[in-house]
Every structure is written in C-alpha cells, then in structure tokens.
Amino acid sequence: MARTVWDSTVGKKTVMAVSGLVMLLYLVVHMIGNLKIFFGPGEFNHYAHWLRTVGEPFMHDEWTLWLIRAVLVVAVVAHAVSAYQLSRRDIRARPAKYVHRKLRASYATRTMRWGGIILALFIVWHLLDLTTGTVHSGGFQEGHPYQNVVDTFSTWYGDVVYIVAMLALGLHVRHGFWSAAQTLGAGSRTRDRALKAAADVLALLLTAGFIAVPVGVMTGVVS
C-alpha cells in the first residue's frame, strides 16, 4: 500500500505537503530562537546550550537535538525527492513547450524549483558555517554561538548569501503553504482568500524575522 501511494502523483504531493509543513514548523521555532540574539550574548548562548539539554534527565545530552535533526533530514529528503520526481513526471507528460506562453502563475510559483535549489545550497553553507565552522570567517568558537553569528554577518558575503536565501525562502513559503493546504484538502472556494492571506503573512514574518539578524549586526544593534 505504501508503495502504491508513493508511486501515485497524489501520494507524492501529499508527502511533499506534509514534509513541507514539518519544515515550516521548524522554521517558525528557529526564527523565534534566532531573535533572542537581540537580548544579548548571555541570553542567546544560554538558549543555544538549552537546545542541547532539552528533555533531560529522561533524554541524554543532545539526544532530543539529534532526534529533531533526524526528523528534519527525513523531511528535507522526502520533500526534495518528491518535488524532483513530480517535476520529471510533469516534463514527461508534456515534453513539448506550449506554443502560447501565458504567465498566469505568480512569480513565487514560477520560481519554486529555483528557490528550492537555492535553499538546498544555503542549508549546506549554513551548516558548514555555523554548525561545523568549516567555512566560518573570523575563527569559529565552539560553544559561543553569539560571537559566531556576529562574525558571519560582519562580512558582506555572509550577509548577501543569507539575505538572498531568506528572500527565496519567503517566496517558497508563500506558495508552498497555500499549495500544501490544497493538497491536504483544507482549501475551498470560501477559504482560499484566507489561506492566501495567511501564506502572505507567514512568508513576510519569516523573511523579516530571519533577515532582522544580519541587519542587526550590520547596523550595530547586535555587536
């Protein structure tokens, strides 16, 4: 049954929708945590340490964090694979381009694929920068996330990479949230306007919330 569902277009769209909502929930929590940086290094570093001890003493040190990471990896892989396979299926269904091309879809819809690629590349860079410190500028300091964030956004390329990725994220969320609602049966003629408004507000809040951190560093509010 699982294989039958996965092989169907509806099944792949459902997997894509559910995995997307899992990642969206994580993004909301992650953004709220990031904004703690405006309360100073003590508050932000304490929050980062707390993430490693969530669930103690029932859960061992970092077990909860690794569990969250595992769920996110599964969600990202499921989302990417289903998106790729749906894209290939769409291309096979119509290998020839339309004679008359009308841009009926929104800009976010037309850039979903490129936005997904940009975000995938950003995730790799972000992990290498602030998790492993491999590409970090200014000398990565283990256990000092506040200083590491300030170092990253003290470089012009760190700001550009992050802000471009967050703009792509906003477009992706704006279309993806509404699309997921349609796939999971939440959409209707009476609820479409409310769902689109919710998607717009959510995308705007996430984009502004994430971009606020590099802007804070650039303006000296966070230093």
The residues, ordered by sequence, that sit 6+ positions from 149 with a Cβ below 8 Å of its Cβ are: 37, 44, 130, 213, 217, 222
Residue 96 is predicted with a pLDDT of 56
C-alpha span between 139 and 158 (Å, rounded): 14
Residue 77 is predicted with a pLDDT of 95
Phi-psi region of 143 (alpha: psi -120 to 50; beta: other; left: phi over 0): left
Residue 2 is predicted with a pLDDT of 79
Distances 92 to 3, 97, 110, 144 between C-alpha atoms, Å? 21, 11, 18, 50
Residue 166 is predicted with a pLDDT of 96
Residue 189 is predicted with a pLDDT of 76
C-alpha span between 16 and 197 (Å, rounded): 21
pTM: 0.88
Closest CA to 165 of 213, 123, 219, 197: 123
pLDDT in single tens digits along all 223 residues of the chain: 878 878 888 899 999 999 999 999 999 999 999 999 999 999 999 999 999 999 988 999 999 999 999 999 999 999 999 988 888 887 777 655 555 555 555 555 567 778 888 999 999 999 999 999 999 987 889 889 999 999 999 999 999 999 999 999 999 999 899 889 888 888 777 788 888 899 999 999 999 999 999 999 999 999 8
Q: Kindly report, residue by residue over 134-159, the tens digit of the pLDDT.
A: 999 878 898 899 999 999 999 999 99
